[in-house]
Structure 1
Amino acid sequence: MTTSTALEEACSSQREQIKALELQLAVANEKLKRADLTTMETMAEYEDQKKMIQDLQSRIADAEIKIVDGEKLRKKLHNTILELKGNIRVFCRVRPAIPDSEIDDVEGPIVSYPTSTEALGRGIDLMHHAQKYSFTFDKVFTHEASQEAVFVEISQLVQSALDGYKVCIFAYGQTGSGKTYTMMGKPETPERKGLIPRSLEQIFQTSQSLQNQGWRYKMQASMLEIYNETIRDLLAPNRPASHEPSAALIKQYTIKHDSTGTTHVSDLTIVDVCSIREVSFLLQQAAQSRSVGRTQMNEQSSRSHFVFTLRISGVNESTEQQVQGVLNLIDLAGSERLAKSGSTGDRLKETQAINKVYQP
């Protein structure tokens, strides 16, 4: 009886264990079913995402093709617009009058701007001995125009250089008319920066943004001055510190033109540049070497023609398209009548050489 009772208790305990195991099995089966269902849902979601990814990849490929085609069309339309505006354009910028020297000597306004529809923003009227003289340009900037306003007008030309075109922008006029201020300005003051630093900022910013489209650019800079009809390399390592070096120290350079119409100066120092900071350093170096001198028209008159050249080579790694652009930014020397300049000796020779550029 004792053995039978023990067996019955063991049997009862085993039944309870079996029930517990059966319950666990049922729970495990339910979890398995749920896991199978989740797996099926995950597989279905994976397939949907896979199809979506394939669709997105296809759309991206189509978009990249459209971007390339769109960029080609943009270049074509952009330069068509510039050609319609004129491949050669002349802008006039009026500088503010100099206090105590130009305002007190005359009565009434010397410069006025016509308001007619035809001449608005393009015309200028000058008064001289009670006689009015009217002139018309492609664009007239008043004495209140900012450096930014001037740059906006020529920024499209800067873009053309990045698109593979040869662009030349230069400032000319008499001494004290603001040529160097327009071209260089005050680079250390953002709102007073001139066309050269602003153009370089646009070039580097745009070239970096085009990297997403597969473009890789190489920039090379050179700077020279033409002083008394002689070319001087402003970036030459052995450049004399004096602004007026002796003729014996001046290296002879020659101007050459290749079959593509590109102009080169023999033995000119060409520096690879990768950032606006590098170019700014070179501009400072060139400014210290440029020939300046005092005349009666200006205390620090530019006595040479300054030529900054940026050669731009671009390659698109995706389309294998190549572009070769050139941006020439030129600050001509100050020009004035010999009688007004008060020039004698070397200054007389300088003025005579400078004025040759301004003669038709």
Structure 2
Amino acid sequence: METLTNDKATLEVQLSTQQKLIANMREELGICKEHKAMAESQSESRGAHLLELKAQLEDAVLSLEAAERRMHDGELMRRRLHNTIQELKGNIRVFCRVRPMSSLEQVGADPDIQPALDFPPSDDLLSAGIILSAPSRDGAATLSKHVFAFDRVFTPEASQDAVFEEISELVQSALDGHKVCIFAYGQTGSGKTFTMLGSEEQPGMIPRSMRQIFESSQGLRQQGWELSLQASMLEIYNEEYKDLLSSKKLSGSNKSTKEGFGSQQPSGEIKKHQVVHNPDGSTTVSELTVVDITQASQVDLLLAQAMEKRSVGCTALNEQSSRSHMVFTLRLEGVNEAKGKRVSGVLNLIDLAGSERVKDSGAAGLRMKEAQAINTSLSALGDVIVALGNKQPHIPFRNSKLTYLLQPCLGGDAKTLMFVNVAPNIQFAGESLCSLRFAAKVNACEINHRKKG
């Protein structure tokens, strides 16, 4: 009996222990069920949140795609509107710029002599006037007044900033894939080279154009565009092409370029540059150095190198007269892989040789030959522009090396701007009159669009 009693007590203790254990396990099971329920609830909540996030992401992707389409369509619309505005302004425009008097000219100026130029106010928003007082042909003491009207007239006080503001739209046209030519024309010593190249303190149109292009390229990159730039510089001296960026005189250091695409040439004797116009509208110039441009400051170095090689000479009108046309050509290639788009533009900035009347410049010998080549070339340029404006069946591009080189960039939907630079002095009134008459002939032309009066 005692054994059974002991066994019963032991079993009761074990039963109590098991009951406590079962109670604890049931309690833990309840907690686990609660955790499970909470986890399932959280999972459902997170799943719903995940689905919501996925839906938001899909909406965001669709919104982004729609925004990109709108941005792309907006860019296309901007380009079309920009081009329409440029065409309404005229695919060929003429700006007149009057340089200020130099310090030496100011010292020697006679206060009793009236200025050679006057700038009457104009109510015409599309043109501006300038009046030139020049000695009469009959030798009388009286002055004859000659009135001209151009798209813009810049007085001697006009800054480089103000001048570039007017041509920046044409730089944008080149970025948009058009061919653009900007000329600086005028007598020797009238400020053409300053307009185009400027100085370190007052950069000219070429360095400012490069600055604008690189600033614009940042925005284009955000739109998926990659822009590549290639530059070349040559001069036309006595109707011969000369590479201004060649590191050597021999052709072994030169390159062949298709409006900027080059390949190394074998060394050998000096070769003449050959210009070939291709069916796709591009131009090939043999033996011409081309440079890939990755930053605007590169162009400053190229300009300095080119100016060291450019042909200059002393005349009675200017001690450092440019005796050649200098042509800076920048080819712009834009590619948007995502949209499958490509644009190709060309920007030509030309510092023309100074026009001059031989009897005034005192040219003789070599200077006489240079002056004749310069004047013949400038006359040919005017003839081409007039022929384009009159829609003549034959355009005399081959009459000069300059017009033949620039043939694809003149006429059609190309954009052309000519600066006529004049001096303010009465002693240069005869030369200024010739320059203004030439510019007026160009300004009267219409190429494809707005007629000028």
TM superposition score category, shorter chain reference: 0.7 to 0.9
Give yes or no for the alignment of 1:264 onto 2:284.
yes
- Cα shift readout 1:287-334 (whole Å, capped 9, x = no counterpart): 211112222322322121100111222222022222221111100112
Compute the displacement of 1:255 (Å).
2.5
The residue type equivalent to 2:232 in the other structure is: S
Give yes or no for the alignment of 1:105 onto 2:110.
yes
CA gap of 1:253–1:12, structure 2 versus 1, over 3 A, is: same
The residue type equivalent to 1:133 in the other structure is: H
The residue type equivalent to 2:338 in the other structure is: S
If the length of structure 2 is used for normalisation, what is the TM-score? 0.68
CA gap of 1:12–1:297, structure 2 versus 1, over 3 A, is: farther
- Alignment match of 2:160 (pick from 147, 161, 164): 147
Compute the displacement of 1:205 (Å).
2.6
CA distance, structure 1, for counterparts of residue 10 and residue 314 of structure 2: 126
- Alignment match of 1:173 (pick from 168, 186, 197): 186
Q: 2:369 maps to what in 1?
A: 349
Q: 1:197 maps to what in 2?
A: 207
Compute the displacement of 1:204 (Å).
2.6
CA gap of 1:234–1:11, structure 2 versus 1, over 3 A, is: same
Q: Tell me, yes or no, if the aligned pair for 1:121 and 1:141 is still in contact at 8 Å.
A: no
**Secondary structure of the structure 1 residue equivalent to 2:93:** coil
CA distance, structure 2, for counterparts of residue 174 and residue 345 of structure 1: 20
> Which stretch shows the higher mean deviation, 15-24 or 334-343?
15-24
Compute the displacement of 1:120 (Å).
8.3
Query: Mind listing any 5+ residue stretches in structure 1 that lack a counterpart?
Result: 241-248
Percent of pairs with identical residues? 51
Larger relative contact order (Cα-Cα within 8 Å, sequence gap ≥ 6): 2
Give yes or no for the alignment of 1:287 onto 2:333.
no
CA gap of 1:18–1:212, structure 2 versus 1, over 3 A, is: same
The residue type equivalent to 1:141 in the other structure is: F
Compute the displacement of 1:36 (Å).
4.1
Query: Mind listing any 5+ residue stretches in structure 2 that lack a counterpart?
Result: 1-7, 135-141, 251-268, 383-453
CA distance, structure 1, for counterparts of residue 349 and residue 45 of structure 2: 65
CA gap of 1:118–1:91, structure 2 versus 1, over 3 A, is: same
CA distance, structure 1, for counterparts of residue 228 and residue 15 of structure 2: 90
CA gap of 1:24–1:147, structure 2 versus 1, over 3 A, is: farther
CA distance, structure 2, for counterparts of residue 5 and residue 132 of structure 1: 139
Q: 1:57 maps to what in 2?
A: 61
Q: 1:96 maps to what in 2?
A: 100
Q: 1:123 maps to what in 2?
A: 129
CA distance, structure 1, for counterparts of residue 316 and residue 300 of structure 2: 31
Compute the displacement of 1:250 (Å).
6.0
Q: Tell me, yes or no, if the aligned pair for 1:219 and 1:313 is still in contact at 8 Å.
A: yes
Give yes or no for the alignment of 1:236 onto 2:246.
yes
CA distance, structure 2, for counterparts of residue 132 and residue 20 of structure 1: 117
Q: 1:75 maps to what in 2?
A: 79
Q: Tell me, yes or no, if the aligned pair for 1:163 and 1:323 is still in contact at 8 Å.
A: yes
Compute the displacement of 1:152 (Å).
1.4
CA distance, structure 2, for counterparts of residue 255 and residue 127 of structure 1: 43
> Which stretch shows the higher mean deviation, 336-345 or 33-42?
33-42
Q: Tell me, yes or no, if the aligned pair for 1:305 and 1:331 is still in contact at 8 Å.
A: yes
CA distance, structure 1, for counterparts of residue 127 and residue 27 of structure 2: 92
CA distance, structure 2, for counterparts of residue 38 and residue 321 of structure 1: 49
Give yes or no for the alignment of 1:299 onto 2:319.
yes
Compute the displacement of 1:278 (Å).
3.0
Compute the displacement of 1:156 (Å).
1.2
> Which stretch shows the higher mean deviation, 335-344 or 45-54?
335-344
- Alignment match of 2:235 (pick from 199, 202, 225): 225
Q: Tell me, yes or no, if the aligned pair for 2:127 and 2:149 is still in contact at 8 Å.
A: no
Q: Tell me, yes or no, if the aligned pair for 1:161 and 1:325 is still in contact at 8 Å.
A: yes
Compute the displacement of 1:28 (Å).
6.2
Q: 1:212 maps to what in 2?
A: 222
